[in-house]
Amino acid sequence: MWSNLCKSLNRLNQREGVLVSKVCFRQLHSSDVHVCPDGLYPGHIHTTAMQKALLAVGSGVAALQNPYRHDMVAVLGETTGHLALINLRDRMRNDPEGNAVLTERPRIRLSTLDLTKMASMPDGTFGREYLRFLEDNHVTPDSRADVKFVDDEELAYVMQRYREVHDLLHTLLGMPTNMLGEVAVKWFEAAQTGLPMCTLGALLGPLRLNTSRLQSLFTSLGPWALRNGWRSRCVLSIFYERRWEQSLEELRQELNIEAPPVTLSVKVKREKWRRKSNSGTADKNVLTMDNPETL
């Protein structure tokens, strides 16, 4: 088994565009693996418990080797988050607005956003500040991967919704997409969602910070993120598509989220991205830490 897993990881490192699921399928040679056999949702890939375990280990190792492999972190989240997704789904069901989200299944994509209207909104409104975040950090909501390995249609939507509201959390928390901002958001998400992927990212993310940023995280941003993640209303239970014109500060108060204790600049991240772009190592579609599924 471990020999097969090592072969899978080698293929992942050699072929950056190949999903870990395809590699594991070739290694497992299992007739139980089939795409959307029961019509759960488009793109669904059914896997056994053993196959999920192999996918979790393989994708976890690949993500640790390269935290920017958002596809690997996505697989890790889907194969380890079943219990957390049930808890999040139940919290949404018990909230009138969250239940409406589960019923109507809105999606946050460029095709569903009226960017022109958002740009015309007053400064300080949630929609205008979200658009400003997208522009300042060179982020697009269309970079979110579709769910494949969650064997429940409703739970799959909960996972998809988590991915698509990640940038909205950045806006609510006032965090840019540099490393420190991403780690702070991961601490909030770990406390808020209980997803193992978020917890792992919260634990390992600080290893990539320098001394000054570690001090800021442990003395200020970290405690603030954990405190607000634990006490705030379930962030998946908000129908954000109906809140664009609401004041950002008013929405924070409603969710019981405090304003950030410090303001982080996006200039460092921008310069880092420019250097990567000039050297040809940056992926123009998934810029450094702009994806929610990054360790």
Distance CA 91, CA 73 (A): 24
Distance CA 232, CA 170 (A): 15
Quote the DSSP letter at residue 17.
T
- 194 in helix, strand or coil? coil
- What's residue 11's pLDDT? 52
Mean pLDDT of the chain: 82
Distance CA 32, CA 54 (A): 14
- Those residues whose C-beta lies under 8 Å from the C-beta of residue 94, and which sit 6 or more positions away, are none
Q: What is the pLDDT of residues 11-41, one digit of tens each?
A: 544 443 444 444 444 433 344 444 455 568 8
Q: What is the mean pLDDT of residues 264-292?
A: 45
Closest to 117 measured CA to CA, from 108, 130, 107: 130
Per the model's pLDDT, the better-predicted residue between 234 and 271 turns out to be 234
What secondary structure does DSSP assign to 77-136, as a single string?
HHHH-HHHHHHHHHHHHTSHHHHHHHHH----SGGG--HHHHHHSPTTBHHHHHHHHHHH
Q: Find out whether 100 and 241 touch, Cβ atoms under 8 Å.
A: no
In the annotated binding site for Zn(2+), the residues are: 166-167, 170, 182
- What's residue 6's pLDDT? 41
Distance CA 217, CA 80 (A): 26
Q: What is the pLDDT of residues 86-128, one digit of tens each?
A: 999 999 999 999 999 999 999 999 999 999 999 999 999 999 9
Q: What angle do CA 190, 195, 199 make, to 5 degrees?
A: 45
Q: Say yes or no to pLDDT of 207 above 70.
A: yes
Give me the helices (H) in the chain, please.
2-14, 20-28, 49-65, 70-80, 82-93, 96-104, 115-120, 126-137, 153-173, 179-193, 196-204, 211-216, 222-231, 248-255, 267-279
Q: What is the pLDDT of residues 240-273, one digit of tens each?
A: 999 999 999 999 999 999 999 988 876 544 444 4
- What's residue 12's pLDDT? 43
Q: What is the mean pLDDT of residues 194-209?
A: 92
Half-sphere exposure of 77 toward its Cβ, with a 13 Å CA cutoff? 31
The CA-atom distances, in angstroms, between 11 and each of 19, 47, 80, 285 are: 10, 20, 22, 22
Q: Say yes or no to pLDDT of 150 above 90.
A: yes
- What's residue 270's pLDDT? 46
- What's residue 257's pLDDT? 97
Quote the DSSP letter at residue 34.
E
Q: What is the mean pLDDT of residues 172-195?
A: 95
Least confident of 55-59, 70-74, 149-153: 70-74
Residue 250 phi/psi, 5-degree rounding, is -65, -40
Distance CA 107, CA 221 (A): 30
- What's residue 295's pLDDT? 57
Quote the DSSP letter at residue 29.
-
pLDDT band at 294 (very low <50, low <70, confident <90, very high): low
- What's residue 272's pLDDT? 46
In the annotated binding site, the residues are: 166-167, 170, 182
- What's residue 76's pLDDT? 92
| Whole-number CA gyration radius for the chain | 19
Distance CA 216, CA 92 (A): 33
- What's residue 23's pLDDT? 44
Q: Provide the percentage of residues in the chain whose pLDDT is more than 90.
A: 63
- What's residue 267's pLDDT? 55
Q: What is the pLDDT of residues 216-230, one digit of tens each?
A: 999 999 999 999 999
Distance CA 238, CA 255 (A): 9
